[in-house]
A and B are shown apart, each in its own frame.
Chain A
């Protein structure tokens, strides 16, 4: 699948927060492992700075956002760039099902953190399947 036809998975920048790291790792799991052909990503800072290529991609490709917290920076910035978010995930949606769990720190996930990232990635992968109309790895 060409890069321009992929579903874009866009995590929040999430620097300095463990929830941000989970959103980033979940994205890498989808784009590197679970749906490498059907899903791609782009850097949110590029979008915020108005990079022409990044703007064009969110305006023309299906988008899934993953936000670490309710500030929803990824979802908001896709909208500000004129794109449409087909599905918006929040790390907290998954994390709250692991009541009391400590997922690690901003610099690294522990076992719980990786489990949450993978669980989230699988949800995203399912949405990528739906949006791209292609079967992906299960």
Chain B
């Protein structure tokens, strides 16, 4: 896939240098256009034609995600994104701790670049999904703190201390962020979805929610294989604010071992106590 590759500047970290190398390999392999983040920020017009004609792939070297944030700020539509610490881990590789990529790092950069520019049909097709109905919560517990009210579904949902919930139906589960967290983040502008097909462990990252105020890493309450991400959030991320427990769900998984995961999760009542504590600490 020929695309525009917006890559972080990556000057002072080895993975930043690797990000730059990935972009160069992508340019070599698929005639991609490299977009310099600093020049884009200073002179967006310089890349206007490129960004109009080509899909945009974003490569970030570290969790600061400068390239992603810049694209979000400029309201660019991101077609593909690669966060190198995750991408390298998924390949089962390690990287050299050097700012100047050696032969091994260059080999790794080429693998990552080929993954970045792979045509859609070359990627593993998503499995056919059997539709599962996730019921809406009937009763809500309401935690109040001053003028704030934080609803929590009374039944059918479990929580972790990272303010993420899981709703389980059979062997499938949906996860999302709690009302308390969406209120803390304020206006949500973007959900960085994880790759469908990826297997994650309990408490692994399952994407990130970005708002004008902060970037929040979604910590999965359960282990399993990601089978879907909420398709409407690309266009309407504000659903996470408006319907955090229903329409604003983030990721759907085929569960690996919910009985084991359950032991480390909180019930609605237990989570309500945590929310009360967090709200008090936040306003102290």
Q: Which residues of A contact B (CB under 8 A)?
A: 11-16, 20, 24, 27-28, 32, 41-46, 48-49, 51, 71, 73-74, 76-77, 106-107
A106 to B32 Cα, complex, angstroms: 14
Q: Does B28 belong to the interface (CB within 8 Å)?
A: yes
Give residues in B with beta carbon < 8 Å to A.
7-13, 16, 20-21, 23-24, 27-28, 34, 36-39, 41-43, 64, 66-67, 69-70, 99-100
Find chain A residues with CB under 8 A from B8 CB. 43, 45
Q: List 7 A-B contacts (CB under 8 A).
A: A24-B11, A41-B11, A45-B70, A49-B64, A49-B70, A51-B64, A71-B39
A42 touches B12 (CB 8 A): yes
Q: How far is the CA of A28 from the CA of B11 in the complex (A)?
A: 9
- The smallest C-beta distance from A22 to any residue of chain B, in angstroms, reads 14
Bound Cα distance from A114 to B70, whole angstroms? 32
How would you classify the secondary structure of chain B's contact residues: helix, strand, loop or mixed? Answer: helix
Q: Flag if B37 contacts A13 (CB, 8 Å).
A: yes
Distance in angstroms from A100 CB to nearest chain B CB is 25
Residues on B with C-beta less than 8 A from A13 are 9, 11, 36-39
CA gap between A107 and B69 in the complex, in Å: 25
Known: A73-B38, A107-B28; 18 extra A-B contacts, CB below 8 A, are A13-B11, A13-B37, A15-B24, A15-B34, A16-B24, A28-B100, A42-B11, A42-B12, A43-B66, A44-B11, A45-B67, A46-B9, A48-B70, A49-B66, A49-B69, A73-B39, A77-B42, A106-B34
A18 to chain B, nearest CB (A): 11
Question: A43 near B42 (CB under 8 angstroms)?
Answer: no
Inter-chain CA distance A32–B42, complex, in Å, is 29
Instruction: Please tell me which one of the listed residues A16, A43, A76, A107 contacts residue B36 in the complex, with CB atoms under 8 A apart.
Output: A16
8 A-B pairs with least C-beta separation: A45-B9, A16-B34, A13-B9, A13-B38, A45-B66, A43-B11, A107-B24, A73-B38
Most buried by A among B36, B66, B100: B36
Residues on B with beta carbons closer than 8 Å to the beta carbon of A24:
11
A43 contacts B24, C-beta separation under 8 Å? no
In the complex, what residue of chain B is closest to A10 when comparing beta carbons?
B11
Complexed CA–CA distance, A51 and B63 (Å): 13
Contact check: which of B13, B21, B70 meets A43 at CB < 8 Å?
A: B13
A12 CB contacts on chain B under 8 angstroms = 38
Chain B residue numbers with a CB within 8 Å of A49 are 64, 66, 69-70
Q: Are A41 and B36 in contact (CB under 8 A)?
A: no
CA distance A16 to B4 in the complex (A): 12
Q: In this complex, what residue of B is CB-closest to A16?
A: B34
Q: Are A14 and B36 touching (Cβ within 8 A)?
A: yes
State in angstroms the CA–CA spacing of A11 and B20 once bound together: 15
A76→B7 contact, CB < 8 A: no
Closest Cβ neighbor of A106 among chain B residues: B24
> Would A46 and B66 be within 8 Å (CB), given that A16-B23, A16-B27, A24-B11 are in contact?
yes
Most buried by B among A14, A43, A51, A77: A43
Chain B residue contacts of A46, Cβ below 8 A: 9, 64, 66
User: Which residues does chain B contribute within 8 Å of A27, judged by CB atoms?
Assistant: 11
